[in-house]
Amino acid sequence: MELNHSNLCDIAVRWLKRPSSGGGHGCHIAVSEVRSGYSGEVPDAIGFRAAGYIDDGSVVVEVKVSRSDFLADAKKPHRNGETPGMGNWRYYMCPEGLIKPEDLPDKFGLLYVNKRGHVKHIVSPFTGERYYKDVADWITKNRFESDQMREQFILVKLFARVGDAEQLNAKLKGAYAETSRLQKEVNKLRERNAELSRRAWRALAEQEKVQSQQVSK
């Protein structure tokens, strides 16, 4: 597999949506290369999670396919502290060995991608033996305060692409109501089927009893 920038962005999006049990962040939404306004940061991949846990928030993955690109990244305003950056958690993703753990900025994670497109955790809460406390400690210790205005810009623009939000909400509520109604109908049919089965078995048993009595006579 060619590990170019585009392919790695696709891998990053899939990794962001991967559940934590599979070594990802379990983001509910993840996209690649979207603008966060009319200027400023354009993350290679960003995901958002909202599940009521300590790992709720935004996750940014910056893809690098050359050392020069990685070194240039440190000069960007949202990396050198001139402006806030996006991502409550931030990772670099690269081909194996391109970036070393000692090269990382403070609190950044590191993900390697091998030639088959598999993601390997180098610096992350999922490295080695995974225990909830270890993951929770890493998640807490390495959390950034992110640029929420730019993250909100991304989410609003993505949501706007869906169409009329209230129409969609009404359709979803209608679909949930219809699903509930159909489930109740299915349950009734199951109960009816079970009752008919019980009647059939009783009738068969009664028939066999009568036949047995006739034979004995």
Radius of gyration of the chain (CA): 28
The 10 Å CB-count burial string (b at 16+, else e) for 67-85 is eeebeeeeeeebbeeeebb
User: Where are the chain's structural domains?
Assistant: 5-162, 163-217
pLDDT at 163: 79
**Burial code of 21-47, b = ≥16 C-beta within 10 A, e = fewer?**
eebbbbbebbbbeeebeeebbebbbbb
pLDDT tens track for 137-186: 889 999 999 999 999 999 998 888 877 878 877 888 889 889 999 999 99
Ramachandran area for residue 81 (φ above 0: left; ψ -120 to 50: alpha; else beta): left
Helix (H, G, I), strand (E, B) or coil at 159: helix
- pLDDT above 90 for 30: yes
pLDDT digits (tens, 9 = 90+) for 195-207: 999 988 988 888 8
Q: What is the pLDDT of residues 84-105, one digit of tens each?
A: 999 999 999 999 999 999 999 9
pTM attached to this predicted model: 0.77
High-pLDDT (> 90) share of the chain, %:
57
Residue 90, judged by CB atoms within 10 A of its CB (0-12, 13-18, 19+), counts as buried
